[in-house]
Amino acid sequence: MEQGFIKNEKKVISNRDRLFIISAPSGAGKTTLCKALLSRFADMLYSISYTTRKPRANEQDGVDYYFIPKEEFKEKIKEDKWAEWAEVHGNFYGTSAEFMDKKLSLGHDILLDIDVQGTAQILKRYPDSVTIFIMPPSLDILKKRLESRGADSKDTILKRIKNAEKEMAKKDLYRHLIVNDKLPEAIDQLLSIIKKYRLGMDNKV
């Protein structure tokens, strides 16, 4: 697993309580939870990541991801265009630095769905980010969810399960932890965390 880097670390800006990062092993339910969150907070912006992964059947370019070729992704690494980037499960994923800086300077709240490597980079650049890690109830259930999603081959699912253990070992990097067992309960927990920050009640946690 290769990790991205940040050339312009000096560009650290304070963004207390405006940047929310959600991470989870693939299949733990973060897309489902992020959608629930965005439907509840209409003014929260979702940072659409760029990826070199092929789109899944139900995914739309410019909605779920910007799907770009590997060459273009690597060019943007050289041009320092990523706020963070990482190689995950053999594909590249990145967050646009221009989008982040522009929207944060305008005072928007932003939601990022990125992996643990990306989170470490974002925390260097935006140290006050609110970080939330979503856990599956067990690895067995995680495997079942990946299978029931029906989007990945057996090989890909195995790769994702292997990576899940590594990602879960990094959960202490995060300020909040949610176990996504019963979906309505996980959604409630997530909404109450975000609400507290947005109301300015919980910014010292």
Q: Does 6 bind ligand 5GP (CB under 6 A)?
A: no
Residue of 152, 93, 146 lying closest to 117 (CA atoms):
93
Instruction: Identify which of residues 177 and 183 has a Cβ nearer to ligand ADP in the complex.
Output: 183
d(Cα 196, Cα 194) in Å, to the nearest integer? 5
The site partner of 118 among ligand ADP, ligand 5GP, none (C-beta below 5 to 8 Å per kind) is ligand 5GP
Q: Which helix (H) or strand (E) holds 23?
A: strand 19-23
Q: By CB under 6 A, which span of 109-117, 135-143, 180-188, 191-199 interacts with ligand 5GP?
A: 109-117
CA dist., res. 115 & res. 85, Å (int): 9
**Binding residues for ligand ADP (CB under 6 A):** 24, 26-32, 145, 148-149, 180, 183, 186
**Closest residue by Cα to residue 38 from 91, 112, 102:** 112
**Tokens representing residue 45 in the block:** 């912006």
Of all residues in this chain, which one has the CB nearest to ligand 5GP in the complex? 118
Sole binder of ligand 5GP in the list 18, 29, 37, 115 (CB under 6 A): 115
Sign of the dihedral through C-alpha 179, 184, 190, 196? negative
- Determine which residue in the list 15, 49, 52, 180 makes contact with ligand 5GP, applying CB under 6 A: 49
- Give residues in contact with ligand 5GP (CB under 6 A): 23, 26, 49, 53, 84, 86, 88, 93-95, 113-115, 117-118
